[in-house]
């Protein structure tokens, strides 16, 4: 069994009834960290002792429980939660407190099970030095007949997720347009599935969702004069575009 997930979130059982709103809010602000660290650790392919595939760092204002293995193959470690420090950084781009919690959690977890501690601490430091940016190229496609290259770039922060499109003209190696086409609150479940592939049909550049249905339609011709003219399709428009009759 490989270590596959890293999770930072308030202790579920301590907050689900006492203050689930705070738990959910904290989770939205740390989802970008879960996403970044989980992707990094998967590439390492670290084999655990077979009892866990996730390290869950679970801060709490209540009683600190000993390290334990919980259902669904999770190694959970409790840490004290400083709500005042959290309130001061909430809504800002400062992620230092979150990273401190991760560092403490990794060190505590290493006292209970064998984990790649130095590698995980190295990710923390690299993430910090990089400005706490979780950005990646989702898709890059070249359409030679239309003389276009289309890139979809994801930017996931503590406060929002956004999908940036960059459209280049291949023949002259020139950036034509760049702009945000999707922006949501932070939280993986909010933006997950909203974008998948890139197509060109007639005069439209189309971004599909996870079901490969058109969701964003961009005027192809206007990109050549530096204009990003796009429309996000609602369900009714999607059905009409697909000639669906309900």
| pLDDT tens per residue, range 156-179 | 999 999 999 999 999 999 999 999
The residue among 104, 31, 34, 101 whose CA lies nearest residue 74 is 34
Average pLDDT for the chain: 93
pLDDT at 238 over 60: no
The residue among 158, 161, 35, 187 whose CA lies nearest residue 95 is 158
Q: Which residues pair with residue 109 across a beta bridge?
A: none
Under the banding of pLDDT at 50, 70 and 90, the label for residue 189 is confident
3-class DSSP state for residue 127? helix
* Mean per-residue pLDDT, 127-134: 94
Q: How far apart are CA 101 and CA 175, in angstroms?
A: 41
pLDDT at 245 over 80: no
pLDDT at 246 over 90: no
This prediction's pTM = 0.90
Q: For the sheet containing 134-143, what is the strand order?
A: 134-143, 148-156, 160-169, 174-185
pLDDT at 37 over 70: yes
Under the banding of pLDDT at 50, 70 and 90, the label for residue 240 is low
């Amino acid at each position: 069994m490989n270590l596959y997930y890293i999770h930072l979130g308030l202790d579920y059982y301590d907050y689900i009834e006492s203050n689930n709103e705070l738990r959910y809010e904290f989770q939205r602000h740390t989802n970008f960290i879960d996403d970044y660290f989980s992707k990094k650790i998967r590439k390492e392919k670290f084999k655990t002792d077979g009892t866990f595939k996730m390290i869950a760092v679970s801060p709490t204002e209540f009683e600190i429980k000993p390290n334990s293995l919980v259902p669904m193959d999770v190694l959970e470690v409790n840490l004290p939660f400083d709500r005042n420090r959290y309130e001061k950084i909430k809504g800002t781009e400062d992620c230092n407190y979150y990273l401190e919690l991760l560092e403490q959690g990794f060190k505590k977890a290493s006292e209970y099970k064998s984990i790649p501690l130095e590698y995980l601490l190295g990710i923390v430091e690299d993430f910090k030095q990089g400005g706490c940016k979780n950005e990646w190229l989702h898709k890059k496609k070249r359409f030679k007949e239309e003389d276009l290259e289309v890139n979809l770039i994801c930017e996931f922060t503590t406060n929002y997720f956004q999908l940036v499109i960059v459209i280049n003209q291949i023949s002259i190696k020139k950036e034509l347009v760049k702009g945000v086409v999707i922006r949501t609150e932070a939280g993986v479940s909010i933006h997950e599935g909203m974008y998948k592939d890139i197509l060109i049909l007639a005069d439209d550049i189309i971004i599909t969702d996870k079901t490969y249905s058109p969701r964003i339609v961009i005027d192809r011709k206007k990109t050549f004069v530096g204009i990003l003219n796009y429309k996000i399709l609602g369900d009714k428009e999607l059905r009409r575009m697909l000639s669906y009759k309900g």
